């Protein structure tokens, strides 16, 4: 809810191309370009298959808008919006 007011998590990526996983709408696909956040968080995501260049699809949002359901490497995974915001993606059409 208050995600809008908080400054976004800083990533290395250039500002003009700044698309995050949390920006994708249900049904949209992206390719991971960078994962920010704490070491533990990044490593956990990579171990779950969210490696750089991995394709990721937003399936839907939970009834209360958070968390979101993703499809990655053929399985379903759920992440909170605040964590998905730490993942930079490029849109795949």
Residues in touch with another protein (CB under 8 A): 37, 39-49, 51-52, 54, 59-67, 69, 73-80, 83
| Upstream peptide bond of 55 is cis (omega within 30 degrees of 0) | no
Q: How far is the CB of 43 from another protein (least distance, A)?
A: 5
Of 13 and 46, nearer to another protein (C-beta) is: 46
Angle at CA 37, nearest 5°, toward 13 and 63? 100
Q: How far is the CB of 75 from another protein (least distance, A)?
A: 5
Q: Are 35 and 51 in contact (CB under 8 A)?
A: no
> Quick one: 17 or 40, whose CB is closer to another protein?
40
Q: Exposed/middle/buried for 34, CB within 10 Å: 0-12, 13-18, 19+?
A: middle
Q: How far is the CB of 61 from another protein (least distance, A)?
A: 7
């Amino acid at each position: 809810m208050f995600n809008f007011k908080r400054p976004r998590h800083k990533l290395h990526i250039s500002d003009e191309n700044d698309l995050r996983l949390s920006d994708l709408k249900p049904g949209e696909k992206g390719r991971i370009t960078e994962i920010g956040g704490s070491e533990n968080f990044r490593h956990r995501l990579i171990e779950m298959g969210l490696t750089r260049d991995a394709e990721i699809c937003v399936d839907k949002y939970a009834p209360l808008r958070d968390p979101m359901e993703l499809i990655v490497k053929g399985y379903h995974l759920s992440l909170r919006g605040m964590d998905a915001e730490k993942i930079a993606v490029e849109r795949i059409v």
